[in-house]
Amino acid sequence: MPESWRTRLTRWGFNWFPAYRGTGARIDYVAADWREVHIRVPLSWRTRNYVGTIFGGSMYGAIDPIYMIMLIKLLGPGYEVWDKAATMRFRRPGRSTLRATFRVDPDELDAIRAAVARDGKHEHRFAVDLVDDAGETAASCEKLLSVRRRGP
């Protein structure tokens, strides 16, 4: 699905936001329906660590807010979404540009809504990998998000 003008403007704003810009990463694509987001983390003077590979903090900072923002957009104003926990596993050094694709399936979204309706709140796990151009995984991250209904 192509980007809409609204998601393109949001992407540009996000890439200029100082906290995200400081990671050295860039958001390359946001689907018009917010079900898919693509990011990249280039190896540059901003992201290079002491040994010449991509700094782990840049990798994590690049992926940290994405699933939370996607769920906020997908669920709408009736829901409250917070990051609860994250686990990052570094599998190999990032020696070139790394990319990640974030997806939220419609069935997954329905399951989250149903769990919140049933229990009042829900904790959901998402996983994403940072991969290089050869398809090798440099890092894997699992995010735990807390979702509940907003208001009384």
Please give the domain boundaries of the chain with CATH numbers for all domains.
5-149 (3.10.129.10)
**Residues 10, 73, 68, 42, CA torsion sign:** negative
Tokens of residue 73, six digits: 């957009």
Per residue in 3-26, pLDDT (tens digit) is 999 999 999 999 999 999 999 999
What amino acid is encoded at 19 in this protein? A
Residue from 49, 19, 39 nearest 130 by CA? 39
Distance from C-alpha of 43 to C-alpha of 51, rounded to nearest angstrom: 12
Q: How far apart are CA 26 and CA 133, in angstroms?
A: 16
**Cα separation of 71 and 123, whole Å?**
12
Helix (H) or strand (E) holding 19: helix 18-21
Q: What is the pLDDT of residue 143?
A: 97
Beta strands in 24-120 (DSSP E): 26-30, 36-41, 79-90, 98-103
* CA 124 remoteness from chain centre: 14
At residue 152, the pLDDT reads 65
Q: What is the pLDDT of residue 67?
A: 97
Task: Return the pLDDT at 151.
Answer: 75
Instruction: Return the pLDDT at 1.
Output: 79
Which tens digits make up the pLDDT trace of 68-113?
999 999 999 999 999 999 999 999 999 999 999 999 999 999 999 9
